[in-house]
Amino acid sequence: MRLIPRTLGMQLVAVTAAAVLLSNLAVVAWFELTTEQQNEAALMDRVVDRAASSAQLLSAIPAAYRKSAAETMSAYPWDFVLRNGNARSRPMNDDERRLAAKLRSELPAALARFPVLANLRDARRQAFQFVVPVAPGTELVATFHRPASTPWQVEALAAAMVAILAASLAAAYFARRFTRPLAELASAASTLARSGNAPRLNETGPQDVREAALAFNAMTDEVRRTLESQRQLLSAVGHDLRTPITAMRISLEFVSDPELRANLQKNLAELQELTEAVLSAARGTGGEAKRAIDLSSLLESLCADMDDQGEQVHFAVDDEPAPLVCRPNEIRRAVRNLVANAVAYGGRAEVRLGREDGAYEIVVEDQGPGIPEPDQQRVFEPFVRLESSRNEDTGGSGLGLTLVKAIAEGHGGSIKLENCRERGLRARLCLPRDRVAV
């Protein structure tokens, strides 16, 4: 099915062109079938009339001048030859008998008493021959050669091409008018799926398209309000938790039991970490100003710091500069979350920087059990942790990957998870490349 156009606009143009071509062929075929017999009958009438009038003309000319007159009258598509004698009767088919009778009826009585013959036995009827009496003992052999006609296929093809061109241009105009809003709708839907935010669509075009754009804008507004409400809720919860946490830390100073105080401090530290994660997710991205950095140096520094802290992190050093305009603290936070997950669930993290057309790709791999494909998108949702498939002894708030996705999309990039072929999980953080001097 490679011959079928993939876009709606091209399919509309192709269908229109095919319909015009078929309709032209059908009209031409009908015209040829219905007019062929009429044209043939009209041609026979003209031929018979010319043969009869030629015989009458020659019969009125003195015998000495008849031969030269016949030669003078001969011009394509007619040949006139005089010969002595009377035509011998021979078997004729029905068409020939009808033509001979018609020819005899147009001759004067003096000539009609002699035999008249018609010969149509050419299989393609390209030549007709009549034997007509001119005088007693003299007859005219009149031969008509049918002129070659222009093949109807050429005429039909020319007409079809003109019609197809005109119809295709009109179809292309209307297809563009119909498909442009649909393309904008598809692009906006893709943006909404990636970032939860999409530009409003112009509510123009045919009624169905306008209604689709109107419904999409309403849905986008509702999604935006929902996300903003969630962000405000997270921010409010985070801020409200800080006050009791601070009060509880002060109260811990009056706990005399060292073991109890240590346990409470540990719980408060976990609660504090969760609160900060909630606030980071609520703030999202955009608070930091963008500036030019060397992405390769940032990754090397981050991996070196984590390695110094005893984490099993290896970075494939790349001496080639990787200039990027970004919010560096956010990029560092996102990569740190990915590396921390790789170490926590796989014991070791392998980090490398790839370069693609117009983008950088930060790849983080581990040797853990991986994540089932149906859950590889769900883990980016807030507070989602797949303990059934990952190490149950690890902690975490379930907001780390949510923050990574927000940071990636805030830079116009993306984050993707995939299982390695043998074992482990691979995270691909893609960031659009900016060619600037660092």
What's 311's domain CATH number?
Answer: 3.30.565.10
Q: Is 148 in the same domain as 113?
A: yes
Q: Is 138 in the same domain as 89?
A: yes
- The last residue of one of the domains, among 241, 260, 283, is 283
Minimal CA–CA distance to 313: which of 355, 272, 352, 348? Answer: 348
Q: Which domain holds residue 278?
A: 200-283
What does the alpha-carbon distance between residue 39 and residue 199 come to, in Å, rounded to a whole number?
66
> Is 7 part of any domain?
yes
Contact 342, 304 (CB under 8 A): no
What does the alpha-carbon distance between residue 50 and residue 99 come to, in Å, rounded to a whole number?
13
Q: What is the pLDDT of residue 18?
A: 76
Helix extents (H) in 390-437: 400-410
Q: Is 77 in the same domain as 170?
A: yes
Q: What is the pLDDT of residue 392?
A: 40
- The last residue of one of the domains, among 175, 199, 223, is 199
> Is 437 part of any domain?
no
3-state SS, residue 102: helix
> Is 329 part of any domain?
yes
What does the alpha-carbon distance between residue 191 and residue 171 come to, in Å, rounded to a whole number?
30
Q: Is 136 in the same domain as 189?
A: yes
CATH classification at residue 252: 1.10.287.130
Total Cβ atoms within 10 A of residue 413? 22
> Is 257 part of any domain?
yes
- The last residue of one of the domains, among 251, 283, 315, is 283
Please say whether the dihedral angle defined by the alpha carbons of residues 105, 108, 113 and 118, taken in this order, is positive or negative: negative
Q: What is the DSSP letter of 198?
A: -
> Is 410 part of any domain?
yes
Q: Is 39 in the same domain as 176?
A: yes
> Is 438 part of any domain?
no
Q: Is 62 in the same domain as 133?
A: yes
> Is 21 part of any domain?
yes
> Is 208 part of any domain?
yes
> What residues pair up with 144 in beta bridges, in sequence order?
78, 128
Q: Is 146 in the same domain as 63?
A: yes
> What residues pair up with 82 in beta bridges, in sequence order?
140
Q: Is 336 in the same domain as 276?
A: no
Total Cβ atoms within 10 A of residue 342? 26
Split the chain (438 residues) into runs of 10 and give each run's mean pLDDT: 63 75 71 64 85 90 90 90 75 84 88 82 69 88 78 63 78 72 76 68 75 84 77 71 79 82 80 69 63 92 90 86 89 91 89 89 91 84 62 56 85 89 89 62
The pairing of beta strand 313-315 with beta strand 349-356: parallel
Q: Is 30 in the same domain as 1?
A: yes
Q: Is 137 in the same domain as 184?
A: yes
**Three-state helix/strand/coil letters over 237-289:** HHHHHHHHHHHHHHHHCCCCCHHHHHHHHHHHHHHHHHHHHHHHHHHCCCCCC
Q: Is 334 in the same domain as 215?
A: no
Q: Number of structural domains, the chain?
A: 3
Q: Is 70 in the same domain as 207?
A: no
